[in-house]
């Protein structure tokens, strides 16, 4: 069994001497593969995987492959490239020259508690009011944070929020040379909106834009 790290163009620059990566090519596409790493899925294992993909991203465009993707052998990897050629080639064009930045918005300080529906609402009305407040906060965060950032990005996706106090969770596909301008925009929005707490991480390989 082999594991897949990323799909990229072929020919591709030599893979970095990190881990144990090698290239399986098929036509104008290549899969960067390695041995399957055994053991528990720990934070360190995930960061190690991420470091390898980021090292690849340093000097080429990549479609990161979902963690844990395994194939029987190199021939299967080549076949996967052939079978999905149109999709992979189009996705590579989408992300060419760009990286992903992750943005989350939380309600700051006391507003966080206020934004949460009570865990055991005393009445149905109280519950509905609390839900309505959360919905208003979410759409407000979208208008305040997402719209200006989306204008700075090549593409954007908004994911369903999934943590307490979280108002927005989004990913932006940003030109490599525009990440500074993007983070400056985040900083401005944060300064103008102390009621929100905005986090921005990256640059990441374009995980949220790799699949069509």
Partner 1 sequence: MTTIAEQDVALIDLLDRLLGGGVVIAGDITLAAADVDLVYVGLRALIASVATAKEKGVLPEMGSAL
Which residues of this chain interact with partner 1, rule CB under 8 A? 4, 7, 36, 41-43, 46-47, 49-50, 63-71, 80, 84, 88, 91, 100-102, 104, 106, 108-109, 112-113, 116, 159, 163-166, 169, 171, 179, 182-183, 186-187, 190, 194, 197-205, 207-208, 210-211
The encoded tokens of residue 100 equal: 């992903």
Task: Measure the CA–CA gap between 33 and 21, rounded to whole angstroms.
Answer: 6
CA separation (Å) from 15 to 39, 60, 132, 149?
24, 10, 51, 33
CA 116: distance to chain centroid?
A: 26
Closest to partner 1 by CB, 26 vs 183, is 183
Least CB distance to partner 1 at residue 210 (A): 5
Q: How large is the C-alpha radius of gyration of the chain?
A: 21
Nearer to partner 1, 15 or 104 (CB): 104
CB of 28 to partner 1, least distance (A): 16
By beta-carbon proximity to partner 1, the closer residue of 27 and 68 is 68
Q: To the nearest whole angstrom, how small is the minimum distance from the Cβ of residue 59 to partner 1?
A: 19
**End-to-end CA, the chain:** 26
We find the least distance from the C-beta atom of residue 183 to partner 1, in angstroms, to be 4
Provide the CB-side half-sphere exposure for 185 (13 A, CA): 19
């Amino acid at each position: 069994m082999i594991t897949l790290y990323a799909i990229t163009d072929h020919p591709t620059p030599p893979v970095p001497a990190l881990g144990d990566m090698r290239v399986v090519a098929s036509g104008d596409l290549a899969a960067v593969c390695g041995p399957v790493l055994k053991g528990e899925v720990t934070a360190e294992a995930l960061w190690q995987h991420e470091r390898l993909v980021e090292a690849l991203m340093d000097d080429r465009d990549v479609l990161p492959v979902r963690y844990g993707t395994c194939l029987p052998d190199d021939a299967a990897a080549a076949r996967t490239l052939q079978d999905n050629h149109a999709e992979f080639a189009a996705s590579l064009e989408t992300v060419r020259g760009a990286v992903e930045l992750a943005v989350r918005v939380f309600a700051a300080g006391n507003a966080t508690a206020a934004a949460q529906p009570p865990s055991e609402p005393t009445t149905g009305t109280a519950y509905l009011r609390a839900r309505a407040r959360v919905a208003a906060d979410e759409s407000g965060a979208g208008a305040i944070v997402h719209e200006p950032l989306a204008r700075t990005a090549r593409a954007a996706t908004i994911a369903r929020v999934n943590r307490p106090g979280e108002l927005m969770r989004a990913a932006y596909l940003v030109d490599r040379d525009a990440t500074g301008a993007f983070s400056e925009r985040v900083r401005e929005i944060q300064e103008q909106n102390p009621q929100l707490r905005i986090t921005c991480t990256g640059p990441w390989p374009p995980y949220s834009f790799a699949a069509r």
